[in-house]
Copies of this chain bind each other. A is one copy, B any other.
């Protein structure tokens, strides 16, 4: 009658580390999970920081050496929220130790690294998850299901963007996000637009990229400037396997935009429009509505849109960003138990990086490229 335990080790205690813990503690109270989740050990840079994190976040143990988490036979699942540059090494070590790995995006700086990680996980048979939590939104599931069920007819057109303004200020310093290996707006947030596009409409087969560096140097933190070569804006024309065409934009210098992860999808029978700024809403147009009564319907998330109802008993209350993480965790834990497929595993993370890199190469070449 008692559930088996799933013991968790967490590496990294920043914003995303906390978000993972939020997911681990919230998911079991919202969902019926097949395991008891145990916050076993947390790793941070110093023993003091790790001990403090253990107390705040509720872990039983702490360590300043992330490898001790890998080595601990008690631990079943490793959450990796350390800096991007370490994702590969940590993931491969955890996989080699037979642990399930939950790694924040981006999986690795380059698609080749992500491929190596993916193959390792698949060979070892562990379950993996990459943090793409916007996809866990019940309204995105609704959109995907409506498309799959043919409610929009044949899909013809798509417009997906993810624009923010956190790099709009040229006085903002050079960071790891500007690293030529894996950095730039397209990789950082355009990746979300790509993930949503394929989540909804299926595989992209061909792209034409346009990646631009607008702010060509930034303060290096030592009084000088450092050249930036990654894109501030990354656009793409895309073709989908289903015959639709579309466009994608990732833009981190879009002054005033905080979370413009938006899409519009047009089919022969209907259309959908969505903005992450109101992510509990999906707008739906149906050509089946009566003449003179047609218009985009503002559907508000509610119990009809699972798993919203597990969070709130009535429509209109709204779930928040952190709740999306709980949904992600629940999906992943069910996958570990073999009750569902992995929501967004390493192979899918690899896929996104392949798309990003192909768009970047297309932009550099000035020509269309197939996605391989």
Q: Which residues of A are in contact with B by a Cβ distance under 8 Å?
A: 15, 18, 21-22, 25-26, 28-29, 32, 56-58, 142, 152, 156-157, 159, 161, 164, 166, 168, 170, 208, 210, 212, 214, 232-233, 235, 237, 245, 247, 249, 251, 253-260, 264, 266-271, 276-279, 283-287, 289, 291-300, 302, 304-305, 311-323, 366-368
Q: Contact: B300 with A277, CB < 8 Å?
A: yes
Q: Known: A18-B29, A142-B292, A368-B366. Is A256-B266 also a contact (CB below 8 A)? A: yes
Q: Contact: B320 with A318, CB < 8 Å?
A: yes
Q: How many copies does the complex hold?
A: 4
A to B CB contacts below 8 Å, 21 in the list: A15-B313, A22-B26, A156-B214, A156-B232, A156-B253, A166-B314, A208-B208, A255-B271, A256-B295, A258-B314, A277-B316, A286-B293, A292-B299, A293-B297, A293-B299, A294-B297, A298-B298, A320-B320, A320-B321, A366-B367, A367-B367
Query: Which residues from B are CB-within-8-Å of A264?
Result: 254
A166 to B303, CA, bound (A): 13
Q: Known: A29-B57, A254-B271, A293-B299. Is A322-B311 also a contact (CB below 8 A)? A: yes
Q: Known: A278-B278, A298-B295. Is A287-B210 also a contact (CB below 8 A)? A: no
A156 to B253, CA, bound (A): 8
Residue of B nearest to A259 (CB): B316
Q: Which of A164, A276, A291, A315 has the most CB of B within 10 A?
A: A315
Q: Contact: A297 with B299, CB < 8 Å?
A: no
